[in-house]
Chain A
Amino acid sequence: MNFDLRLPIGILFTVYGAILAVYGALTLGSDIYKKSLGTNINLIWGCVLLVFGLLMWIFAILGRRNK
């Protein structure tokens, strides 16, 4: 089966990472982060998801090359 799940995982989390990181950057210092103890969790976690998503892309591309 020529379907590599790493690609959709990569897409999903890159998009999520981008949405959260950009939104986090736009809301720096906003009151909505009182809930999360003052941490801009959107920005931080957005970056984490972005890295995870991009890693999945890279693995998928490397996997394709090895075939």
Chain B
Amino acid sequence: MDSNAINLTLIDYSILAVYILVVIGIGFALRRNMKTADDFFLSGKSIPVWVTGLAFLSANLGAQEVIGMAASGAKYGIMTSHFYWVGAIPAMIFLAIFMMPFYYGSKARSVPEYLKLRFDEKTRGLNAIAFAVMTVASSGASLHALAALMHLLLKWDYNVSLIASSIVVLAYVLKGGLSSAIYTEVLQFFLIVLGFAPLVIIGLNDLGGWTGMMSKLPETYAHSWKYMGTTANPMGVEWFGMVFGLGFVLSFGYWCTDFLVVQRAMAAKNMGDARRTPIIGAIPKMAFPIIVIVPGMIALALMSKTGSTYHIPNGITGETDFNLVIPSLIAHYLPTGMLGLALTALMASFMSGMAGNVTAFNTVWTYDIYQSYIAKGKSDSHYMWMGKFATVAGILISIGFAYVAKNVNNIMDFLQLVFGFVNAPVFATFLLGMFWKRTTGHGAFFGLLGGTLAAVVFHGLSSPSILAAGETIPWIKGAWIGAHFSFTSSMAQNFWLAIVAWSVCFVLTILVSFATARTKSDEELKGLVYSLTPKIREENEPIWMRPAIVGGLVLMVALILNIIFW
């Protein structure tokens, strides 16, 4: 018998059906609120803060995150927590305290629109187009991963899985817009936590608790920092590349500038709630490694448990496929019933990953591309119609990307690479734009281009491993100009690429800004730049409502977690 296959019973199917009914029901219930384009794209800025906070966290909780973090847990152990306690948390707190006032206060409707207000049209255009392509592509990747997994596990037809899940997403996004996407993301958050928790509990029980699990894992898997002095750790990254590359450039670039997550905070009722959104998201985020990383470690430990027949399954290529950690543990431990719940949680994460991308795409397309360059000054209902059209188009393009991903080897790796080039420098642009009023539009634009170019060149000059004489690697892994810098893992190569791209963008933006004249007066930059914006007074708020104080506390807890798992 094929050990990957899972047989579902009526109970499991009914659990999945209930989920689909409820999300479509939410879409229909919200339909009445969709009166203007702002309602559709921005939720009319009316969503309670606990909802935007959890949505902020779970917009990113797509399949790539859940499946990928479990895979990393099995590959690297506790070191994977760097993505949370060094990467995400500080960036989320920084966004809340320092950057949100400008996003929310500027009345921009999207991140690219902020760039237009702060700099100029060309900087916005560059960012908007790159972002639009990126979101539909990752939505397509989510869709492909879902259909491929369902085909592998449940023997469902690939095309049917693909079309059916697209229709579900289409139905609720079209009816309820951003509100629908946000509400279902929160539903999905609870579903993932409550669907995967039994897996972790049973798994740890089976291994004899935490210490039992650790005794079956290599020593390096039990420490997050102890082996970071050199590259002699499972990740092959030393501490500087980790802290600066991942912790600073990549994490701040993602959490502070990616419209997919920032859009959730922008849907909050007022400035205070907008700033509290990332902080509320950060609190459960700190605990999330229990749900997503620990299963990877359980899977690895289980393989060396005496008498256990479990092994992480092989993928299509015949090698161990770490992406199958979660699905295979579900099949190993959960009886029918719970099995349906966990699989529904997994599917929900794919679907809401797609919905999140589609809602970010339709907003950027309609406001930053269509309204700015194609059809200015149309009626509100016209843009609302365009938003719905963009939703359908976005989903159709995602389906297209999914088929491309299925048939063209490496296309998704290639896109990942391109997005890396585009994303690595972008945080420098925002940092300078928000905190240095002298930054000019030309500076931002050419800094961004130069940073991206530097990333491309660095990729061509670096290799993810030390190459023997005459050894060649596929161009997609780097060194297509020549292997002048060698790293010990592709992760280290990525982190350093980000560091180089960010630094080039940072320096170039400053140089070009000095060489060009400012086009925006101090008056025009009010609310967009730190030194020209009145400080937000929060002395009258109770202590637990102040972003700086609560944010500081969260950072302290993250620090303690780093020390505990040192």
Contacts and interface: CB of A to CB of B under 8 A. Distances in A.
Nearest to A4: B48
Contacts of B334: 35-36, 41
B335 A41 contact: yes
Given A5-B51, A19-B11, A12 B337 contact: no
Question: Could you say which interface size class chain B belongs to?
Answer: 35 or more
B47 A1 contact: yes
B338 A20 contact: yes
Interface of A: 1, 3, 5, 8-9, 11-13, 15-16, 19-20, 23-24, 27, 32-33, 35-37, 39, 41-42, 45-46, 48-49, 52
Interface of B: 11, 14-15, 18-19, 22, 25-26, 29-30, 33, 43-44, 46-48, 51, 179, 183, 186-187, 190-191, 194, 198, 202, 205-206, 332-338, 341
Contacts of B47: 1
B18 A16 contact: yes
B336 A12 contact: no
Nearest to B183: A5
B338 A13 contact: no
Contact of B202 (A5, A39, A46): A39
A32 B336 contact: yes
A9 B50 CA distance: 14
Contacts of B33: 1, 3
A11 B198 CA distance: 21
A37 B22 contact: no
B393 to A, nearest CB: 27
B194 A42 contact: no
B338 A41 contact: yes
12 contacts: A1-B46, A9-B186, A12-B18, A15-B18, A16-B341, A19-B11, A24-B337, A35-B334, A36-B335, A41-B335, A45-B338, A49-B194
Of B191, B332, B334, B337, chain A has the most CB atoms within 10 Å of the CB of B337
A36 B194 contact: no
Contacts, number: 85
Contacts of B43: 1
Contacts of A12: 18-19, 22, 187, 191
B29 A20 contact: no
Given A1-B47, A16-B341, A37-B202, 18 more contacts: A1-B43, A1-B44, A1-B179, A3-B29, A5-B51, A8-B25, A9-B186, A12-B18, A12-B19, A16-B15, A16-B18, A36-B335, A37-B333, A39-B202, A41-B198, A46-B337, A49-B194, A52-B190
Given A16-B341, A19-B11, A42-B338, A35 B333 contact: yes
A20 B15 CA distance: 9
Contacts of A20: 337-338, 341
A13 B332 contact: no
A53 to B, nearest CB: 10
A36 B202 contact: yes
B348 to A, nearest CB: 10
Contacts of A37: 202, 205-206, 333
A21 to B, nearest CB: 10
A45 B198 CA distance: 8
B198 A35 contact: no
A48 B333 CA distance: 18
Complex A-B, nearest 9 residue pairs according to Cβ-Cβ distance, in ascending order: A32-B335, A42-B337, A1-B46, A12-B22, A23-B337, A41-B338, A35-B335, A45-B198, A5-B183
A8 to B, nearest CB: 6
A33 B334 CA distance: 8
B30 to A, nearest CB: 6
A59 to B, nearest CB: 11
A13 B194 contact: yes
Contacts of A33: 335
Contacts of A36: 198, 202, 333-335, 338
B201 to A, nearest CB: 9
Contacts of B186: 5, 9
